[in-house]
Each structure stands twice: as C-alpha cells, then as structure tokens.
Structure 1
Amino acid sequence: MFLFLTYVAAGIAIAMPVGAITIEMTKQGLKNGFFHGWAVGLGGMTIDFVLIAALYFGLASILQLSFVQIPMWFIGAVFLVLIGYESIKNADKDITLPGEKPVKSIFSSYRNGFLVAVSPGNIVFWLSVFGAVLSNTYDSNDAGNFLIIASGILTGILLHDIGLLTITTLTRKVINRSIIKWFSITAGIVLISFSVYFLYEFIMSIIRIIQ
C-alpha cells in the first residue's frame, strides 16, 4: 500500500508541470464544463497507458529509435497547429455557461487530448523521466511491483486532472463569456508555440542525421 501511495504522489508531481495537455484540458473545462475537460485528460492518459504497456512488454527501445521519433515530431507539430488554430478560430463558439447544455461532443474533447498526447515530447518525457524507474522495477519473475507502480502513477495523474478540473469548474461559475473567449485564444497561441518547438526538434533531428 505504501508503494502504491508513493507513486500516486509521483504521478501527481509528473502531471503538475503545465504542458499542452493541461492547456487543452483547462480550456475545454472552462468552455464546456468538467466532463469535457476530463475527456481531454482521459485522451492523454490513453497514450500514457499505451506507453506503460510498451514498457511492460519491452517495446520502449523501439520508441527511442530515431526513425520512429523524427516523424512523430512533425506529426505532433501538425496536430498542435490544427488544435491551436481551432482554439483561436472557434474562441467565441461552443462556449457553454453553467446551466446550459454543451453543444460540443465529449468524444471531440477526448480526441483532442489523444492527439496532443501523440507527440514525441510526451513520449520522450515518459521514457526518460520515469520509464527508467518502471524498467528497473520490472522483474519478469515478479511483475507485481511494476503493475503497482504503474497503476499508482496513473492514479496520481487522474487525481491531478480531477483536482485541476474541479478548480476550473468553480472558476467557470464566476467568469463571463468574454474571459473564456480570450483564454481560448491564449490557449491556441500556446499550443501553436508548442508546435513551433516540435517543428524545431524535427528539423534539428534531420540535421543531426545528415551531419
């Protein structure tokens, strides 16, 4: 139990730094409420779960190959540009104030979270920050600790998302449509800035190979 709780705390700490997923999750939480924001988080966690499964089955080394990572930098940049552009273009649309029924589907929010998470930045983070921890705790003769640690980390991320969205939902009750619109525009700009970084990494990776 202590091991599980230790890695729940680690999962919360891992989820705290503000990234593209957090930005998109907060934006959807403000525009459409708790469950839309949570759907973004669940979309991101789907990729997290896949990466943990990859580590468990020994596939992490494939994800670290340059010919796998380089195209993903470009794909991630494209996804973030599209989501960022959509955020700016539709900043004053799909805003649901408390008491109103959301027009946007839960699935579209989940899809955005999934697409944001499908980026080498997210994958490299998982593999480098705690992939080594999970790999070191994995024992083919006793996979129990690995599963406890992995489930603890995912639980921590889930608790972080719920806490963040609870705050977002409470904030949503005291702000107006104009503030939500400008937050959506700001979120779009931030997402596009992440895409510029991804594109830079894509170009630099190609240059390193050529040299």
Structure 2
Amino acid sequence: MLATISGYIILGLSIAAPIGPINIEIIKRGLLYGFWAALLVGAGGISSDLVLMALMFFGLSHIMSIVWVKITLTMLGCIILVHSGINNLRMTRLMEDVTAPDQRSGRVKVRSYLSGLTIAASNPMNLLFWLGIYGSVLSGVLQQSNHLHAFLVSSLVFLGIGLWNLNLAFTVHFGRLLMNTRIMKVINIVASFVLIGFGFKFGWIGLQELYDLLL
C-alpha cells in the first residue's frame, strides 16, 4: 500500500520536475517577486491540470484527436509563450528594486496565478502528456477499480506536483537572497529567451501539422 502511494506521488514529481515553460515561469516570478508569486504560478498550472483531468472523464481525448484542435492549441501556445517571454524581457529593469516591497502585491499574486494557468492550459505538450501517459494510467485504474480509487490516485499525483512546486518556490525564494541584481537579471533574461524558444518550438510543430494537413 505504501509503495503504491509513494509510486503515484513520485509520478507527480516526475511530471512536474522536467524543465518546461511552467518551471521557467516559477523561477522567473520567484526571482522577481519572491515565494508567493512563484508558488501561485505552480498553483495556476495545477488548476489547469485539474480542469483537464476533469474534462478527460467527459471525452476530451476524442476532441483532442481532431487535427484542427491540435493546430489551434499549438499556435495559441506559441503566441502566449512568445508574448510572455517578451514581457519578461521588458520587466528585467524592475529587478533594480527587487529588494523593495512591492506596493501591488495583490495584483502580482493574481497575475502570477493567471500566468501559470494560461501557460499550462495553452502548452500542447502538457495536454498531450495528460491525455497520453496520465490518461493511460487513469484508464487502467478505472478498469481495475472504481471512480473513488481513481480520484485518490489522481489526488496523489497532484500531491507530487504540488510538492515539487513548493520545493522550487522555496529554493528560488531563498536562492534570490544570495544573488545580486546583475545575476538575477541574467537569469531572468535567459528564462525569457527559453520561454520564447518554447513558443517558437510549438509554432513550428503547429506549422508542420498544418503543412501535413494541407498536403
């Protein structure tokens, strides 16, 4: 029993750990605004995953198999990630006053949450992962047991994701105390270009899908 519980928590950790747009955004927001902003980016991503998991019970996989849906989501992900990366580059100058208290903390928290939500929701790789790997896990659980067991399994997976986000938020928050403004600016710039790179990658995938469809 304990091994099964640990296994699903580890699955959640393995889902969240790879470097991708959400982790980059957590790092960027954490360096700029601190712990809560970083944690709320992760919370936004988890919220999107929860909605996606719920929709999977209502046949979302069939909708995602439609080529035009894949292309639309991929191009939307491209636009959002490139836009987010460019905005991050523009915000680099704000890091001059990174140690000063932010007078718009409420707005920053809301924007951090919405940023995580939109990035996760528009990331086609995230959608394909949940529909593919996690969908297979969930399907197997539903075949072997009831919906309550499937809910508990899903909760353990999301617990693992939440633990990773909490760990990353703490690490970035305390790590920023050991960095000077110049180092933080460099990290923010690199993170911004990584987001833009992911955006172009998704755009290229979308164009390839469109090209194959038109041929």
Q: Pick the aligned partner of 1:187 from 165, 173, 191.
A: 191
- Aligned-pair CA distance for 1:98: 4.8
1:154 and 2:155 are equivalent in the alignment: no
Count of aligned pairs = 211
- Greater mean deviation of Cα atoms: 94-103 or 79-88: 94-103
**Equivalence for 2:31:** 30
TM-score in terms of structure 2 length: 0.91
Label 1:140 to 1:45 Cα distance change in 2 as closer, same or farther (>3 A).
same
Residue 132 of structure 2: aligned partner: 128
Q: Are the aligned partners of 2:95 and 2:181 in contact in 1 as well (CA < 8 Å)?
A: no
Conserved 8 A contact 2:95-2:184 = no
Q: Of Structure 1 and Structure 2, which has the larger fraction of its residues in helix?
A: 2
Gaps of 5+ in 2: none
CA distance in 1, matches of 2:24, 2:73: 20
Local SS of the residue matching 1:101:
coil
Aligned equivalent of 2:205, options 193, 201, 205? 201
Q: Which residue of 113, 116, 126 corresponds with 1:113?
A: 116
* RMSD, aligned CA: 1.9
Residues 121, 102 of structure 1: alpha-carbon distance in 2 compared, 3 angstrom cutoff: farther
Note closer, same or farther for the CA distance 1:189–1:41 as it changes in structure 2 (3 Å cut).
same
Sequence identity, in percent? 29
Q: Which runs of 5+ in 1 are unaligned?
A: none
Moved more, 150-159 or 111-120: 111-120
Higher mean C-alpha deviation, range 68-77 or range 123-132? 123-132
Measured after TM superposition, the shift of residue 99 of structure 1 is 6.6
Distance 1:187 1:4 in 2: 34
**Aligned-partner residue type, residue 136 of structure 2:** A
Q: Aligned letter for 1:112?
A: S
**SS of residue in 1 equivalent to 2:139:** helix
Could you say if the C-alpha distance between residues 174 and 134 of structure 1 is closer, same or farther in structure 2, counting changes exceeding 3 Å?
Answer: same
Residues 159, 200 of structure 1: alpha-carbon distance in 2 compared, 3 angstrom cutoff: same
Q: Check conservation: 1:27, 1:187, Cα contact below 8 A.
A: yes
Match of 2:180, as an amino acid?
N
Displaced runs of 4 or more, over 3 A: 94-99, 101-104
- More off after superposition, 35-44 vs 64-73: 64-73
Say whether residues 1:62 and 2:47 are aligned partners: no
Q: 3-state DSSP class of the match of 1:90?
A: helix
**8 Å Cα contact 1:32-1:94 kept in structure 2:** no
TM-score (norm. length: structure 1):
0.93
